Each structure stands twice: as structure tokens, then as C-alpha cells.
Amino acid sequence: MPDLPLPDARFADIPLGLALLVLALWLIATRRDRSAVIGFTAYGLLVAVVWVRLGAIDVALTEAALGGGLMGLLLLTAAARLGEPRGQPAPPMFMRLLVGLLCVGVTGVLAVVVLSLPTPAPNLVAAVAEHQHTTELGNPVAAVLVAFRAVDTLLESVVLALAVIVLWSFAPDAAWGERPRTLELGTPGPALVLLARLLPPLGLVVGVHLFWAGADDPGGPFQAGAVLAAMATLMWLARLGAPPPVQSRLTRVGLVVGPLVFLLIGLAGVVAADAFLGYPEGLTKPLILIIEAVKTLSVAVALALLVAGPPALPGNHLPSRAAS
């Protein structure tokens, strides 16, 4: 790789790779939920650094925000609610040996395949570069996500909205119409409250910047939405506000407006650009900006609601599992 700025940058990769391997092994070996979650969060951040080293800044931002940040928070609350795991009998020795051998076999096959991948890998970089100008976007990742492979991005944002409805459907019937209460974890400390007062204005600026910059530089609706969702979560944790109840029409509009506007503009493309999910010449950039703006909002709403959990009755932080 001749374009690396310093020859010794590659030496940083060796400890990075080693740390990743050690952390991964430790994650498999550890028996305690809490330490596994903390390890997983650290692992996500390390992976983000690896993505930076590979030059994929967009992926790194997403990994840090989602894999390291919100996932970690979700898993920590889950681990806290599960309590200490009940002891399970250890599997018999031959079973452990068998599974070990099978894992070695699968890893071996994967290693052979990965090492046999052609270098340089056949890729679409040239094709993207050739057609990127039609989208009037400077960031090739954004061009792929919102134009060339728009259908995948649309369906992924539909999955996000659907996930919230699914989460809500786990609530007991009596709690339907209530607000989520998973984040009501005792009285917040003064440091948390201070942080929740100071950070959100800053986070709002960072989020909007990530969305705006995403057109030409790394960033975009997913990363921006994740930052905004983190700010909302912080305020809810500090009890400076509360998640909205599931019946709130405004919340539901916020949840679906992103994919809905995306789909409607895509359908308008049938008439205006002669293709579903196509953009008419001249209007491409404004339409894409509208799509990205509402998507940022919907991603933020969906992620924040996913962390907030299913609706629950007051004083009952755990959804009832005794029904039926």
C-alpha cells in the first residue's frame, strides 16, 4: 500500500489485530454477561478503528455509533435485567471435543477461502466513480446507498421501523398506550443530569453536521440518526424527559416518515424519471437531501425507541412474562 502516510503506520496494525483476536477469544470464554457486554462494546470500538485503517470511514462511524454505542447500551440494560445467569451443567467432554474440532474445521475452510480471494479483488469502484456524478453527491458511499442500491436502503429503513412495532408488541396488553420505562433505572446521579444538560445541544450540532456532510464526505443519515438517538437516550436516562407513549401519533409519523417519503419519491420517479427509485435530472440533489433529512429523523426516532424498550405500566420496569 504505497499511499500510507508513514511506513510505521503498519506496525500499529499488528497490536491492533492482536488485540482484536485476544478480545474476541476472551468474549467467547467469559461466562459473565456483564463483562461480555463490556468486552463486546470495546470490541466494536476496536473494529471501528480497523475500519478507519482500511479507509472505510463511513463504516467506522456506523460501527462506533451502533456496534459500540447503542448496542452496548441495549445489551447492558438487558444484562442488568437478566441478573446472574443460572448455572448450566457443563457439556460432556466428547461433545466439547467434537464441537472444538468442528469449529477448527470451519475456521480452516474459511481461512483457505479468504486467503484464496483474488487480489486486487474485483470491485465496483470504477463503475461507481463513473456514474457518481449523476447523483451530484461527492461521497461514493452515499451515492451507492441512496441511488444505485436505493432499494436495499429503503428496505433496511423499513426493517428499522418494523423493529419498533415488534418491540412494542412484546408489551402486556394492559400496558398498551403507556410509555416505555426500561430506562427508568433509579434516581439519576447529579453527574448524569449535568451531562444530559450539556451534551445534547452539542450532539444535535454533530448529528446535523454528520447528515449534511454525508452528501460529500463520510457520514450520513444512519450515523447522524445514531448520534441524535444517543442524545435522546441520555436525556431520558437523566429523567429530563420521558419517551412518548406508543399511541402518540406524532411519534408514529416520525418513525415512518423517512421510509415513507423515500418510497413516495421512488414511486414519483416512475413518472418523472421513467424508473422506480430513479431521480429526474436536475432535481436529483434536492430530492436526495429531502430523503436523507427525513431518514435521519426516522433513524433517530427508531433507535431511541428501540433503546427505550416496550411500553410498561408505571412502577413495573419489567414486561410481564406471566401471561397465558
Partner 1 sequence: MSLPEVLAPWLDGPRAAELLFPLLALPVLALLLAPLLGARGARLLTLATLLLGLGLALAAAAALTAADAPLVYALGGWAAPLGVVLQLDGPAALMLLLTAFVLSAVGLHAARDFGVAAVGRRATLAFWMLLLGVWAGLNGLFLGRDLFNLYVAIEVLTFSAVPLVCLKGGAGQLTAAFRYLLFALLGSALYLLGAGLMLGLHGTLDIGQIAERLGGLMMAEGVDPAAADESVRMASLVAVALMSTGLLAKTALMPLHLWLPPAHGGAPAPASAVLSALVVKGSFFLLFRLWLDLVPDLRALDVGLLLGVLGAFAILLGNAMALMQERLKLLVAYSTLAQLGYLFLLFPLAGAGGPAVTAALVQVVSHALAKAALFLLAGRVLAAFGHDRLPRLDGFGRALPGTLLVLLLAGLALVGLPPSGGYLVKTLYGQAAGADAWWWRLVLDLGGLLSAAYLARILAVALRPPAPAAPGTTPKAGSRVGTLGLLVPGLLALGALLLGLLPPSLFALLDIGRADMGSATAVAEVMRTALTPAVFWSSTGPVLVVALAVMLFHIGGDSAWQRGIGAAGRELAGIEGDLREWRVAGALLLMIFLAQVLAVLP
Contact residues toward partner 1 (CB under 8 A) are 91, 95, 98-99, 102-103, 105-106, 109-110, 113-114, 116-118, 121-124, 127-128, 131, 147-152, 154-156, 158-159, 161-163, 165-166, 168-173, 176-177, 249, 252-253, 255-256, 259-260, 263, 266-267, 269-270, 273-279, 321-324
> CA 236, CA 223: separation in Å to the nearest integer?
20
Q: Shortest gap between Cβ of 176 and partner 1 (angstroms)?
A: 4
CB of 198 to partner 1, least distance (A): 34
CA–CA dist 60, 222 (Å, integer): 12
Who contacts 181 (Cβ-Cβ below 8 Å, separation ≥6)? Answer: 309, 311, 312, 314, 316, 317
- Please name which of 81, 255, 266 lies closest in space to residue 168, comparing C-alpha atoms: 255
The CA-to-CA distance between both ends of the chain, in Å, stands at 61
Smaller CB distance to partner 1: residue 153 or 223? 153
Nearest approach, Cβ of residue 141 and partner 1 (Å): 14
| Rounded least distance, CB 191 to partner 1, Å | 36
With respect to partner 1, which residue has the nearer C-beta, 14 or 86?
Answer: 86
Q: Report residue 173: phi and psi, to 5°.
A: -55, -35
Q: Which is nearer to partner 1, 3 or 173 (CB)?
A: 173
Give dist(CA 21, CA 231) in Å, integer.
32
Select 2 or 122, whichever has its Cβ closest to partner 1: 122
Nearest approach, Cβ of 52 to partner 1 (angstroms)? 20
Toward partner 1, which CB reaches closer, 175 or 196? 175
Q: How many CA atoms lie within 13 A of 286 on its CB side?
A: 4
Q: Which residue has the cell 485476544?
A: 22
